[in-house]
């Protein structure tokens, strides 16, 4: 995928279709959608509405579970997670980009602090395919190859746009 084809609406439409097919094939009723703060929340809000999910949406802040602040230049935002009961639920975990897998590892740690879900389905807008941990998205809008000096940022919430930046 090239940077000129980074149409968030088209990627979201693909994610919506793929997620509907996955939920139908796995017969998972009343899943709980949770967005990872902040970009994942924006995407989860859109998918939650498009799929007409009944359960309220959750918000996950993974700040305290990150292990790479010194390496990535991230700031500790320290907002609290807002989750309904997760015990025994089928979770749809949404993030904007999966790259190393460290954000998702942190999200799983935070999620399990609230209880043991029946399953976790990972949904991401983009996969940058630079894994450091064995984590794979179940539903992805697309893949993107960036140069070592580039990064991508989801800007939003309205409108949602992707921007490639130099580090």
pLDDT tens, residue order, the chain (167 aa):
544 458 999 999 999 999 999 999 999 888 999 999 989 999 999 999 999 999 999 999 987 665 555 544 444 555 678 888 889 999 999 999 999 999 999 999 999 988 999 999 999 999 999 999 999 999 999 999 999 899 999 999 999 999 999 98
| Helix, strand, coil tally for the chain in percent (to 5) | 30, 25, 40
Quote the CA–CA distance of 68 and 142 in Å, as a whole number: 25
Domain chopping of the chain, boundaries: 3-67+78-166
Tally Cβ neighbours within 10 Å of residue 34: 31
Distances (CA, A) of 3 to 6, 49, 124: 5, 27, 17
Residue 82 pairs with which residues in a beta bridge?
59
Q: pTM, whole model, 2 decimals?
A: 0.90
Distances (CA, A) of 151 to 20, 58, 103: 30, 27, 15
What is the token pair recorded at 32? Answer: 């709980």
Terminal-residue alpha carbon distance, the chain: 20
CATH of domain 3-67+78-166: 3.40.50.2020
Residue 137 pairs with which residues in a beta bridge?
none
Q: Are 127 and 93 in contact (CB under 8 A)?
A: no
List CB contacts of 157: < 8 A, sequence separation 6 or more: 42, 45
């Amino acid at each position: 995928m090239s940077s000129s084809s980074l149409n968030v609406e088209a990627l979201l439409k693909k994610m919506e279709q793929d997620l509907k097919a996955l939920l139908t094939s796995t017969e998972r009723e009343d899943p709980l959608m949770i967005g990872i703060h902040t970009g994942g929340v924006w995407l989860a809000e859109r998918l939650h509405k498009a799929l007409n999910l009944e359960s309220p949406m959750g918000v996950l802040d993974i700040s305290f579970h990150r292990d790479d602040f010194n390496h990535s230049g991230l700031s500790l935002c320290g907002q609290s997670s807002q989750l309904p009961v997760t015990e025994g639920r089928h979770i749809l975990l949404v993030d904007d980009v999966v790259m190393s897998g460290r954000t998702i590892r942190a999200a799983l740690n935070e999620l399990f602090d609230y209880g043991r879900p029946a399953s976790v389905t990972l949904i991401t807008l983009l996969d940058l395919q630079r894994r450091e941990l064995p984590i794979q998205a179940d539903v992805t809008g697309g893949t993107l190859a960036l140069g070592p000096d580039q990064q991508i940022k989801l800007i939003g919430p309205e409108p949602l746009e992707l921007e490639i930046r130099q580090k």
